[in-house]
Each structure stands twice: as C-alpha cells, then as structure tokens.
Structure 1
Amino acid sequence: MSYPSYGPEGNPYPPQAGPAPAYPQPAPVPPPTSAPPPLGLSPTSGPPPFGLPPADSPMGITTLLLAVACFLLLVLAGAGFGLYVNERGTVSDTRAQLQERDAQAAEAERRVKDMEAARAAAEDELSDVTEQRDVLMPCMRRAQEIFDALRGDDDDKLATALELGDAACAKAEDVVDS
C-alpha cells in the first residue's frame, strides 16, 4: 500500500490563486484586574447564588408559579394518599366489627332457638300437668265427700261417695299412668 505524497510535485490539490482573504481582528482585551469587587455587590453574570429570581423577570415569575403549582400538587397527592390509607383502615375496622356482629347475631339466634325449644317443652309439660290436674280434681272432691260422710256417720252418703270416688279415681289413674 502506498501513501500519496503531498509535496509541490505530487500535490493532489492545486494551490489557490490570489491573496489570502483578510479576516477582521478582534479588539484588544484589557488585562484582568486582580482587585475583588466592592462588598455588597454581586457579579452581574450567571444566576443568583441564593433566593428567588428577580420578580420583574418573566422567567422568574413562571418558575415561581410552576414551583407553587408543584408544591400544591404534592400536598394534594399526600392528602389523597393519607385519606386512602385512612379509609382502608376504616374499612378493615368496619369489616372486623361486622364479622363480630355477625358472630354475635348467630349466637343470639342459637340462643333464641334453644329458648323456643325449651318454651315448647315447657308448654307440653304444662298441658300434661293441666290435663292431669283436671282428671285428678274429681277424684279429690270425691275423697273429700268420703271424709265428710265418715264424719257425719251417714252410711248412705258414705256408700254413694265411695261408689262415685271409685269411678273418678279409676279414670284419673288411667289418665295419669298413660
């Protein structure tokens, strides 16, 4: 591989004809001073080091408005998240309370059923006792008549009372024993 030579005899680009163009020269720059600026004055170039941009600058007002809007959105987002978390906690608490109330309601229903069964049993027993009482009362009245006849020493009354008492007590015995 060979490289092209760039000399007067082998120059692939021909030299330009005419004088070189003249470019404007920059103005001479004064030498920098080594003295610091007076106290209380800030440099005039670059952004301010601290604080807000000047109020008369349109860029400063826009930046300030955007910062306030972002801050408000951040506060609203935080409040919304707080409400969401609070509502989730409230919903969980409410669910727990509902489950507890459901358990209490089921327990109350069970007790009501037990009480209804006990009431029905007591009603059945009461009806049995009432029936037995109704059957035993004539037998007891006849027994009282027998005692009255014995006290009065009346044989005819005693015989009638014994006969009626025997029939009433036999009927009572059949009902009570069944």
Structure 2
Amino acid sequence: SGNGQAELIALLSGERTHHNNDAIRICGTAAARLRADERRKLGLAFVPEERLGRGAVPSHTLWENAVLTAHRFGTVRNGLVDRRKASAFAAGIIDRFKVKANGPASTAQSLSGGNLQKFIVGREIALEPKLLLVSQPTWGVDVGASAFIRQTIVDLSRAGAAVLVVSEELDE
C-alpha cells in the first residue's frame, strides 16, 4: 500500500533482517538479526499475504505443507519427515479449522482460496504462537471463510497471544 506495512511484516517475520539487533525483540530476545526459523523457535508464527508460493507450496500435499513450520511437533526428526505424524498433524488442522479437502494427501493447489487460507492460518495457530503476524488474512476469500478466519485470530488473541494484522479491510 506504500505505507510500510509490507516492510514492517518482512522485518518482523524474519524475511528481512535489520542491522540493529535490538530493533526487534520477540519475547524479550533480540531478534533483528535472527533468521525466520530462529524467530519461530521464539514463538513467532506468520501468515503471509501470498497464499501460494509463500504460505504454501502449490504442488505439495497438505501434510507436506504442514511440516514447513511444524518441526517441533515431531513431524521432522534429524532432517527426516515422519510422514505418519505429518499426516496426522495436517488432518488435525483440516478438522479443527473446517478445511474442505479430501484429506492430508490433497495438494495445496486443489483447495479453494478460502480453504487454503484456513489451512495456512490453522497451521500457524496450531503452533501455539506467542506472536502471530498476519498479512491480508481474508483477501479473496468468501464471507464464511472470512468470518471464521477473523474469529480464529480473535480467539488466539483472547488466549493471550500478541497478534499483528496488516489488512486493507477496515473491519480487521
């Protein structure tokens, strides 16, 4: 939008680093020079504006997309993916966040925009983050999915997580 929102999200999420390490703190830890994966270990979760490409790999299955950020759930050990655990983790997201999919083996590109967004938001919230960054959470999704996503984010905030939403929707 030209007002620095994208730059702010990029700096906070770890997509970009900052030369002053004290410029960004996550749960009391200086994080400006940390990579995105290191910031996730501090409790950060991130829903990017672009669902396909940055939020999910289009040709990959939902269980493969679930493990992109969920290593601490035992889905990845010593660099190897435990397919059974990854599939169960993805199935839990599908069920809890009411994602219309034919199961964890469905590809990300086979889902509607709203269902893919619910999956991505669900994946990040399943991480039980201390800080959730969300960019354009309801862009291009139907009214029902939009309401569900908004309520899910509000519920996380009420549970004690810090939430930063960047949106062009005034309701958000």
When normalised by structure 1's length, the TM-score is 0.18
- Higher relative contact order (CA closer than 8 Å, sequence separation 6+): 2
Give 1 or 2 for the bigger CA radius of gyration. 1
Task: Name the TM-score, length of structure 2 as normaliser.
Answer: 0.18
Structure with the higher strand share, 1 or 2:
2
Higher helix share: 1
